Amino acid sequence: MLLPSATLLLVYALLLWAASVKLRDASIIDRFWGAGFMLVAWAGLWQSGTPVPHQLLVAGLVTLWGSRLSLHLTWRNWGTGEDYRYQAMREKHGTSFVWKSLFTVFLLQAFLTWFISLPIQMVFAQPVAGTLPPLALAGTAVFFVGFLFEGIGDWQLARFKAAPENAGQVMDTGLWRYTRHPNYFGDAVLWWGLYITALPTPGVGYTFLSPMVMTLFLMKVSGVPLLEKRMAETRPAYAEYAQRTPTFFPWWPKSDRV
């Protein structure tokens, strides 16, 4: 399963890269991030022949998360052009960006998809027959906590941005009152939930680095740091919001603490 999924993701990345060159929009990779995991899960189902309940559960959770994320990002970014992060990279590298993006954007994300999905791949490589293990059900509960946190956070932010009177303002209500990044926090939680769901499969315990890498990227690399920098540059009120609101893990704002 590991080699076929790597090959599948390589082809997937090359096709997306080719499309990005034609469209001059490298940010299309973001819209297909969740779909890449779905591709891995569906390929696993197909290879498994007759899937067992545990495999169907994992495939269903991945599909639920991946389809929501891909549809949300497609809807949010439709008609807006290339994301500012990729525009900055394009300006920095000039004509060489086309080839550099192949390695630093598309193939890198293909590798990350493959690595982060290792627990999922093992579920399809070594099926656990019978009824769903209790640990898988516990992991499913954790998954839905993260899924709802991420989905509700995105929905609240979309509603906030849709109101003309909020133009240039900082979202600080709903889940955004308790963490500056509820969607990233929810994403991290649901990936730990998927890891727990996969744990009944022999050997999955050793793949704990997969959800760890996802969490670290959200907290320290491509998630929180880039958005924090962008918000600080474009929203004057963000500094005050950041002082009273936890960065990642939800907690009461400083103004509410005794």
Three-class DSSP labels, 78-100: CCCCCCHHHHHHHHHHHHHHHHH
Q: Is 235 helix (H, G, I), strand (E, B) or coil?
A: coil
Confidence at 233, pLDDT banded by 50, 70, 90: confident
Q: Give me the mean pLDDT over the 225-241 stretch.
A: 89
Confidence at 77, pLDDT banded by 50, 70, 90: confident
Say how far apart CA 200 and CA 137 lie, in whole Å: 11
Please give the pLDDT value at position 23.
92
Please give the pLDDT value at position 1.
67
Q: Is the dihedral of CA 194, 196, 198, 204 positive or negative?
A: positive
- Given a contact cutoff of 8 angstroms between Cβ atoms, the answer to whether 116 and 211 are in contact is yes
The helix or strand, by DSSP H or E, that contains position 41, with its residue range, turns out to be helix 33-48
Say how far apart CA 64 and CA 166 lie, in whole Å: 31
Write the single-letter amino acid at 87: Q
Residue 85 has pLDDT above 80, yes or no: yes
Residue 258 has pLDDT above 70, yes or no: no
Confidence at 257, pLDDT banded by 50, 70, 90: low
Say how far apart CA 92 and CA 13 lie, in whole Å: 23
Please give the pLDDT value at position 256.
64
> 83 vs 148, which has greater pLDDT?
148
Residue 255 has pLDDT above 80, yes or no: no
Give the residue among 93, 89, 68 at the shortest CA–CA distance from 222. Answer: 89
Helices (H) and strands (E) in the chain, counts: 13, 0
Say how far apart CA 251 and CA 41 lie, in whole Å: 34
Q: Is 92 left (phi over 0), alpha (psi -120 to 50) or beta?
A: alpha
DSSP 255: G
Say how far apart CA 180 and CA 67 lie, in whole Å: 24
> What confidence tens digit (pLDDT) does each residue in 97-141 have?
999 999 999 999 999 999 999 999 999 998 888 889 999 999 999
Maximum pairwise Cα distance, the chain: 58
Say how far apart CA 253 and CA 250 lie, in whole Å: 9
Map out the domains of the chain as residue ranges. 1-51+67-129, 133-253
Mean pLDDT taken over the chain: 92
Dihedral of the alpha carbons of 79, 106, 212, 56, in degrees to the nearest 10: 80
For the chain, what is the radius of gyration of the CA atoms? 19
What is the value of pTM for the model shown?
A: 0.92
